[in-house]
Amino acid sequence: MQLTLTRPDDWHLHLRDGPVLADVVPHSARQCGRAIIMPNLKPPVVSTHQALDYRERILAAVPAGVDFTPLMTLYLTDNLSPEEIRTAAASGHVYAVKLYPAGATTHSDAGVTDIQHTLPTLEAMAEAGLPLLVHGEVTDPDIDIFDREAVFIERHLEPLVRRLPELKLVLEHITTRQGIEFVQGSGPNVAGTLTAHHLLYNRNAMLVGGIRPHYYCLPVLKRESHREALITAATSGSPKFFLGTDSAPHPQHAKESACGCAGLYTAHAAIEFYAEAFEQANALDKLEGFASHHGADFYGLPRNTDTITLVREPWTVPESYPLADAKVIPLRAGGEIAWRLQL
């Protein structure tokens, strides 16, 4: 069996920086035409100038003969100015701004402490048509980690959408039924990305039979009823939902630790994982819209014109991939994947 689709794009990707680029960029570049590159470097990408420099370093790691366009983003802080938004939009290479609540996830210390502080900047974004990408979790220590997405929507996103109804907004890596309902209940300028791992796994994968750090990410995997809501949305054909892997490489030692980092590495087989999830839901006919059309349409970019082909031919994922002088343990390490990308 074979499946040919318009080349997908990844609307949420972490590539990191420095020598690891040479190891991780080729994985995404062989599948995706474009990717929205997350700005949570250390220090974060907070200016157009930094984003353009980072873009050059990514391009230098794209293998010869491969066409891959990094779509850069800025990291929203309490201090990002409306002027910088206009510069970013005019650069032609910055496509969105990322909101991390301070302390919510990996490298988010510089994040926003109060969305109210950023309103003039968000207004400039609405004017420029630059989307706000949201890591939607509260950081309030009183809120249970499994409830942090739902509470963020109620406390912050719903008021924000009421305050700035014209702002384009993407709720990233949705993990709950409440996240899906928020996107469905909002206007056409509000969309959501879904990761392959949240479509394939519930929290048992992380916690049954031992604690499995390579399934730990933020927002954390949720219970099965939430996963089912994500699958229903992804396979619904709604243009509001599209592919964003959130592939987030961490060195093996940083994850296999008493305090392991959040993030799953899925870029080595992203489209194959999504194909598996859609096949399980009997909805392979909906994969192309989700992976290759809806995101480009939302961002107002042309769809890719070339195609990829997946063949139903199982292969075994390596136990690890190199990550500069360390290793990254990919999702499904040592296990089988049903679909293979034909090169």
Ligand X SMILES: NC(=O)N[C@@H](CC(=O)O)C(=O)O
Catalytic residue numbers, as ranges: 246
Is 16 marked as a binding-site residue?
yes
Using the minimum distance from each CB to Zn ion, give the nearer residue, 135 or 214: 135
CB of 89 to ligand X, least distance (A): 23
Is 223 marked as a binding-site residue?
no
Token pair 């499995």: residue: 212
Which helix or strand (DSSP H or E) is residue 241 part of?
A: strand 241-243
Asked if 149 touches Zn ion (CB under 5 A), the answer is no
Asked if 135 touches Zn ion (CB under 5 A), the answer is yes
Using the minimum distance from each CB to ligand X, give the nearer residue, 174 or 284: 174
Using the minimum distance from each CB to ligand X, give the nearer residue, 91 or 139: 139
Is 200 marked as a binding-site residue?
no
Write the CA distances from 76 to 37, 113, 132, 318, 341, integer angstroms: 14, 10, 9, 36, 36
Strand partners, 311: 2, 340
- Residue 48 CA from chain centroid, whole number: 21
Residue 106 touches which of ligand X, Zn ion, none (Cβ within 5-8 Å per kind): ligand X
* 197 closest CA partner among 186, 212, 178, 185: 212
CB of 8 to Zn ion, least distance (A): 17
Strand partners, 2: 311
Using the minimum distance from each CB to Zn ion, give the nearer residue, 55 or 250: 250
Is 9 marked as a binding-site residue?
no
Contacts of 116 (CB under 8 A, 6+ apart): none
Residue 262 touches which of Zn ion, ligand X, none (Cβ within 5-8 Å per kind): ligand X
CB of 61 to ligand X, least distance (A): 18
Write the CA distances from 271 to 88, 187, 248, 285, integer angstroms: 30, 28, 15, 14
Write the CA distances from 317 to 248, 310, 335, integer angstroms: 17, 16, 6
| Per rule CB under 5 A, count of chain residues that contact Zn ion | 3
Is 156 marked as a binding-site residue?
no
CB of 331 to ligand X, least distance (A): 12
Contacts of 24 (CB under 8 A, 6+ apart): 15, 16, 247, 249, 267, 323, 328
- List residues near ligand X by CB under 6 A: 14, 40, 105-106, 135, 217-218, 246, 248, 262-263
CB of 250 to ligand X, least distance (A): 6
CA distance 193 to 183: 10
Asked if 246 touches Zn ion (CB under 5 A), the answer is yes
Which residues form the interface with Zn ion (CB under 5 A)? 105, 135, 246
Which residues make up each annotated binding site for Zn(2+)? 12, 14, 98, 135, 173, 246
Binding residues for substrate: 14-16, 40, 135, 218, 250, 262
